[in-house]
Amino acid sequence: MSGSADLHRRLWKENADLARASLEHPFVQGLAQGDLDQDAFRRYVAQDAFFLRAFHRAYALAAAKCGPVTPLAILRRVESLMTGVLDELDLHAGYAEELGIDLDRVDPHPATFAYTDFLLRTAWEGEPGEIFASMTPCMRLYAWLGQELEEHDHPGNPYHEWIRTYGSEEFAGLADEMESLLDELAEDTDAVRDAYRYAMVCERDFFSAPLGRGE
């Protein structure tokens, strides 16, 4: 099976500017400081749940694209990542109950729709390596943000659970698994690099949506 060793490290390094922009984004800093407006967080939970459902479908399509001769071990790894998405959706369901959000009636923000449209179009039309390149930034960025924010977190922060979840060893392990699959299934091509970078742009823009920003 083709692949490119340590591709994930090169792509992450090349997109460090976008990772830093997400960390410094007012939404993420609001989570870190604990002063993010609750209505903004409510909008974020709704949009993220909409996104995660599309993300789960993209995993299923990626597994199908891997082909009939794909080693069972790879399919099991993809399945574990899909389970991780369902766990995230359970977390969001808890937030939704607490904040009074109907996750079955979410009107996607343009930034959310642009992201999910990109993911699903790539999953339908792209090769497995390109699909994983489009999905990896979400996992690695959230793990990195969680770890960065956790260094200064405190139990009194109303967003402590969000930070703890994404800063956990369990979530870091899922990000590691995703990057391992990327290395195994993707070649270092322009299409793979473009997919990774555009996903990072979408992540940055996604944090603006709950604040009513379109940049």
From residue 170, give the alpha-carbon distance in Å to each of 88, 126, 127.
12, 29, 28
> CA–CA separation, 40 vs 55, rounded Å?
22
pTM of the predicted protein model? 0.93
Q: How many C-beta atoms surround the C-beta of residue 125 within 10 A?
A: 11
CB-neighbour burial class of residue 58 (10 A; exposed 0-12, middle 13-18, buried 19+): buried
Q: Residue with structure tokens 């604990």?
A: 34
Mean pLDDT of the chain: 93
> CA–CA separation, 164 vs 68, rounded Å?
38
Residue-wise pLDDT for 53-79, tens only, equals 999 999 999 888 876 556 778 888 889
Using N-to-C axis directions, what is the helix angle for 7-14 and 190-208, rounded to 10°?
A: 50
Residue 19 has pLDDT above 90, yes or no: yes
Read off the DSSP letter of residue 103.
Answer: T
From residue 59, give the alpha-carbon distance in Å to each of 15, 54, 112, 173.
23, 9, 18, 17
Residue-wise pLDDT for 109-132, tens only, equals 999 999 999 999 999 999 999 999
> CA–CA separation, 130 vs 79, rounded Å?
18
Residue-wise pLDDT for 24-39, tens only, equals 999 999 999 999 999 9
Buried b (16+ CB within 10 A) or exposed e, 141-180: bbbbbbbbbeeebeeebebbebbbebbeeebbebbebbbe
